[in-house]
Amino acid sequence: MNTKQLATVAMALALALGAAACNSDSLTNLNRDPNNPTDAPPGPLFTSAVNVAVSRWLGTYDFGQVENLVQHIAETNYPSDDLYQTFTSATSTQGSFDAPYPAELESMRKVIAKGDALGQPGLSGPATVFQTWSFDYITDSFGDIPYSDALKGDTAGGSRAPIYDTQQSIYAGFFAALDQAVSSMQNDPAGDPGLGSADPIYNGHLDQWIRFANSLHARYALRLVNVDPATASAELQAALSPSAGGVIGSNDDNAQLAWPGDGVSNNPWANNLLARDDRRMSRTLMDSLVVLNDPRLTVFAQPVGDSSVFPNGYGGMPNGLPQDSAVKWYNAASRPGLIFYPGGTPYGTFGTSAGLKTPSYLMTYAEMMFIKAEAAERSLGGLTPGEAATDYYTAITASMNQWGVTDAVAINAYLARPQVAYKGGVDGLKQIAWQKWIALFTDGGQAWSEWRRTCVPLLRPGPGAILNYVPRRFLYSTTEASVNAANLNAAIARQGPDNNATRIYWDSNPTAAPTYTAGCN
């Protein structure tokens, strides 16, 4: 470089530095990494957080773990979940504790903050509802967790070692958060652009987010019924109040993620089945479907490969078999339905690429109607027993329709079967719980919570299980023992031993359930 060029460069640098001296933002911008922005746009942040969370709670956590606990699914080649080996190891389940906080929960916190700062409930409302939905899986798996003090490590006065809230206070926080979100969305100012197409669940329609929020409110209210029936009834009544804006009222209102199936965002069950073929239907669920000729049978399951055990073509394998016994069911038990398979897997050509697009259901009309049926039978939330039968039948029909079963003759024949026709009283409550357990197929987390609350169906560990009971909670993360030991130990001292038998708050009074059966764990 010659002297003239050096002089030109020096002059340019001087001008740049002079401009920077007049504008401090320019100097700051020199230190910003454009590939790692500190202020992401709320729309893409929301979309990404939804995809991550749904893939977790209705994917790896669900299909990989808790569907085995509730005996919807069993395992042939690698039965560690079926044998409860996974659940007795904190390192195996710690991902369900460690991962959500810095991922979807933190992302939704930022969207909420952005919405509040801009005065846009179209951002903050859905983010609050979705964050609550995700928080629930964590507390229902572990019990007391960081909640009110969480996600504040980078804020003034925040702590990187958050306290653990009691689950009782966490649920109170859920009700308050959902109420606030509903109120803000009901008063959404004109001109709020909201999320629009960045919302993969409701495409930015706040009326549906309000119904989803109220339905979650009802779900969490009923969960408390064995330990605090007065609060359960009051919160149910608040959720069902017309002034709240309604609950999920049809399958069109279902909170669901319709996956693009583009190889990047796929149904998480189908993603799992791309690489393995050891998941089979549990005999516990299949017996319920086969014996009653449930029209959902051919949707939920495939015919067996070897019909020598089940000549009618469909059947499940027992849960909790030792590996040498479990592998014998590889061809003898039904696989999950074709709609969950991506096609062209290394293990065959089950399903088609349409399986990658099968929706994941966060909450459905069927579940909402089962909640109303139980509340009515128990005279909770302002409902009366006279409403229970209609809500029960509506719930079963909604579940059928949700999965593509629309043959009215077949549905009505099923509803008329003596085991299904509504009986009322405690028998009716058992029917509601049983049918709800079936309808929650693909949402094992909620099915697990409902089983713990109702003791329906009466699940038993398999013969090879290393525990003599079905786990009632996960062990706390080993990471927390390293970075937040004082608060973790305080939670354990308050809640009970950190093992799979300790009951979390709303599961601490099981005999209060009318459906409780002696010997239920």
Question: Does a structural domain hold residue 56?
Answer: yes
Question: Does a structural domain hold residue 317?
Answer: no
Contact 470, 83 (CB under 8 A): no
State the Cα–Cα distance between residues 435 and 457, nearest whole angstrom: 10
Contacts of 168 (CB under 8 A, 6+ apart): 228, 505
Residue 317, phi then psi, degrees to nearest 5 = -100, 155
Residue-level pLDDT, tens digit, the chain, 521 residues: 333 333 333 333 333 333 333 433 443 444 454 444 567 899 999 999 999 999 999 999 999 899 999 999 999 999 999 999 999 999 999 999 999 999 999 999 999 999 999 999 999 999 999 999 999 999 999 999 999 999 998 877 778 899 999 999 999 999 999 999 999 999 999 999 999 999 999 999 999 999 999 999 999 999 999 999 999 999 999 999 999 999 999 999 999 999 999 989 999 999 999 888 999 999 999 999 999 999 999 999 999 999 999 999 999 999 999 999 999 999 999 999 999 999 987 766 789 999 999 999 999 999 999 999 999 999 999 999 999 999 999 999 999 999 999 999 999 999 999 999 999 999 999 999 999 999 999 999 999 999 999 999 999 999 999 999 999 999 999 999 999 999 999 999 999 999 999 999 999 999 999 999 987 87
Domain that holds residue 416: 43-257+360-512
Contact 506, 219 (CB under 8 A): no
> What does the H/E/C string look like for 254-271?
CEEECCCCCCCCCCHHHH
Write down the pLDDT at residue 213.
Answer: 98
Question: Does a structural domain hold residue 451?
Answer: yes
Question: Does a structural domain hold residue 28?
Answer: no
Residues in the chain: 521
Question: Does a structural domain hold residue 32?
Answer: no
Question: Does a structural domain hold residue 508?
Answer: yes
Write down the pLDDT at residue 520.
Answer: 83
C-alpha torsion sign, points 494, 454, 404, 252: negative
Report the candidate in 305, 495, 320, 288 with the shortest Cα–Cα distance to residue 399.
288
Provide the CATH number for the domain around residue 366. Answer: 1.25.40.390
Write down the pLDDT at residue 9.
Answer: 33
State the Cα–Cα distance between residues 331 and 344, nearest whole angstrom: 18
Question: Does a structural domain hold residue 350?
Answer: no
Distances (CA, A) of 68 to 321, 340, 451: 12, 17, 13
For residue 518 the two structure tokens come to 């002696």
Tally of structural domains, the chain: 1
Distances (CA, A) of 405 to 49, 201, 338, 396, 408: 32, 23, 15, 11, 9
The enclosing H or E element of 116 equals helix 106-118
Using the structure block, give the residue that is written with the tokens 């653990």.
164
State the Cα–Cα distance between residues 428 and 434, nearest whole angstrom: 10
Question: Does a structural domain hold residue 344?
Answer: no
Reported pTM: 0.92
Write down the pLDDT at residue 26.
Answer: 40
Q: How many CB atoms lie within 10 A of CB 512?
A: 12
For residue 480 the two structure tokens come to 């927390």
